[in-house]
């Protein structure tokens, strides 16, 4: 993290624009609070990536909230969508002075496993950087020529020292931003099960073939284990395997589009009604 911050701070004076990639399922939790301080007064475009995995109604709420900022533009995106480069350049022209005799230099920032490398490949129109569905794939800053009018600076994804509030840390772990080797699947599965039973119970029940979803998170994880046949001696459910199955099913979008936080969940007031 210290190396990434130092590289970003050193390169920032030569940057025209920051493109911060967020996870559309957790826009608040995946927004690195250190970025604002690092970019200073540089304008910013936020891309709510993986929007095909997020609840579209909730994503619309987030975009309405982000639209309030004057030095920031935001839009949702999925890897299957076209027009990414055009969208970025349109927003960039609206944020930057019109007189320019050189290519636009944009720095790509974002937490681990949010899809930065995939976006860079799409912006460049060719495979430049490695991609994988796991954190910490990009290890060093890279400079990418993405056509005659755009230069991209790719940076390693990094998290901040203290993941607060606690729910943010859980959401990051559930979505895979935190390396699995340091995650307690049993712990984060209980967090996910509690949330899913409240917000997306019918979708979870339909996927696992349940009549209803238990409200108690431990009972839900156990029920998933029974449905999937994760049984040991005496018919005891292997809760570890069941917990891992729940998390991977959620990450893979098996329950349909799921958002793990709304603006209201994060203490953000809705936009004022202009008619009142």
| CATH assignment at residue 230 | 1.10.1580.10
pLDDT in tens, 187-214: 999 999 999 999 999 999 999 999 999 9
Do 79 and 147 belong together in one domain? yes
Cis peptide before 165 (omega within 30 of 0): yes
Q: Tell whether 210 is covered by a domain.
A: yes
Do 145 and 190 belong together in one domain? no
Do 137 and 194 belong together in one domain? no
Q: Express as a percent the part of the chain with pLDDT over 90.
A: 55
pLDDT in tens, 214-261: 999 999 999 999 999 999 888 899 999 999 999 999 999 999 999 999
Q: Tell whether 224 is covered by a domain.
A: yes
How many other CB atoms are found less than 10 A from the CB of residue 184? Answer: 11
Q: Tell whether 44 is covered by a domain.
A: yes
The b/e string for 196-228 (b: 16+ C-beta within 10 A; e otherwise) is bbebbbebbbeebebeebbeebeebbbbbbeeb
Do 16 and 133 belong together in one domain? yes
* Angle 116-121-123 from CA coordinates, rounded to 5°: 90
Contacts of 104 (CB under 8 A, 6+ apart): 16, 17, 89, 92, 96, 149, 150, 151
pLDDT in tens, 240-250: 999 999 999 99
Q: Tell whether 273 is covered by a domain.
A: no
Domain stop point among 116, 136, 154: 154
Q: Taking a C-beta distance cutoff of 8 angstroms, is the pair 50, 78 a contact?
A: yes
Nearest CA to 16 out of 86, 97, 128 is that of: 97
Q: Where are the beta strands (DSSP E) in the chain?
A: 17-23, 44-49, 72-76, 104-110, 142-145, 150-154
Alpha helices in 75-216 (DSSP H): 84-95, 116-124, 166-175, 185-199, 201-208
pLDDT in tens, 40-97: 889 999 999 999 999 999 999 999 999 998 889 999 999 888 889 999 999 998 898 7
Query: Confidence class of residue 275 from pLDDT cuts 50, 70 and 90?
Result: low
Give the containing element (helix H, strand E) for 243: helix 239-251
Q: Tell whether 271 is covered by a domain.
A: no
Q: Tell whether 267 is covered by a domain.
A: no
Do 27 and 83 belong together in one domain? yes
Residue 137 has pLDDT above 70, yes or no: no
Do 148 and 189 belong together in one domain? no
Q: Can you tell me whether residue 109 is helix, strand or coil? A: strand
Q: Tell whether 11 is covered by a domain.
A: yes
Do 150 and 189 belong together in one domain? no
Do 17 and 129 belong together in one domain? yes
Report the domain count for the chain: 2
Do 128 and 197 belong together in one domain? no
pLDDT at position 132 is 46
Q: What is the pTM of this model?
A: 0.88
Do 147 and 244 belong together in one domain? no
Q: Taking a C-beta distance cutoff of 8 angstroms, is the pair 10, 97 a contact?
A: no
Domain stop point among 133, 154, 175: 154
Do 80 and 202 belong together in one domain? no
How many other CB atoms are found less than 10 A from the CB of residue 102? Answer: 8
What residues make up the domain containing 122?
A: 2-154
Q: Tell whether 258 is covered by a domain.
A: no
pLDDT at position 103 is 87
Do 146 and 37 belong together in one domain? yes
Residue 118 has pLDDT above 50, yes or no: yes
| CATH assignment at residue 59 | 3.40.50.300
pLDDT at position 88 is 92
Residue 276 has pLDDT above 70, yes or no: no
């Amino acid at each position: 993290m210290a190396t990434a911050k130092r590289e970003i701070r050193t390169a920032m004076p030569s940057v025209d624009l920051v493109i911060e990639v967020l996870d559309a399922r957790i826009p608040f939790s995946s927004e690195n609070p250190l970025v604002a301080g690092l970019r200073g007064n540089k304008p910013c475009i936020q891309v709510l990536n993986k929007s095909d995995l997020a609840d579209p109604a909730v994503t619309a709420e987030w975009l309405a909230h982000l639209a309030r900022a004057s030095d920031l533009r935001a839009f949702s995106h999925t890897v299957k969508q076209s027009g990414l480069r055009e969208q970025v350049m349109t927003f960039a022209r609206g944020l930057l002075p019109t007189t320019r005799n050189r290519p636009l230099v944009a720095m790509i920032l974002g937490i681990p496993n949010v899809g930065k490398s995939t976006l860079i490949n799409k912006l460049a129109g060719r495979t430049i950087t490695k991609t994988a569905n796991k954190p910490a794939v990009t290890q060093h800053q890279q400079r990418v020529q993405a056509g005659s009018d755009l230069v991209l600076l790719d940076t390693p994804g990094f998290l901040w020292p203290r993941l607060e509030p606690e729910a943010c840390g859980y959401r990051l772990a559930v979505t895979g931003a935190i390396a699995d080797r340091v995650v307690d699947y049993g712990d984060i599965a209980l967090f996910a099960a509690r949330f899913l039973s409240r917000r997306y119970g019918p979708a979870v029940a339909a996927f696992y073939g349940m009549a209803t979803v238990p409200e108690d998170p431990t009972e839900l994880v156990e029920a998933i284990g029974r449905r999937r046949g994760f049984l040991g001696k005496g018919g005891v459910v292997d809760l570890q395997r069941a917990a891992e199955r729940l998390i991977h099913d959620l990450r893979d979008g098996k329950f349909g589009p799921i958002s793990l936080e709304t603006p209201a969940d994060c203490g953000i007031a809705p936009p004022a009604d202009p008619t009142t």
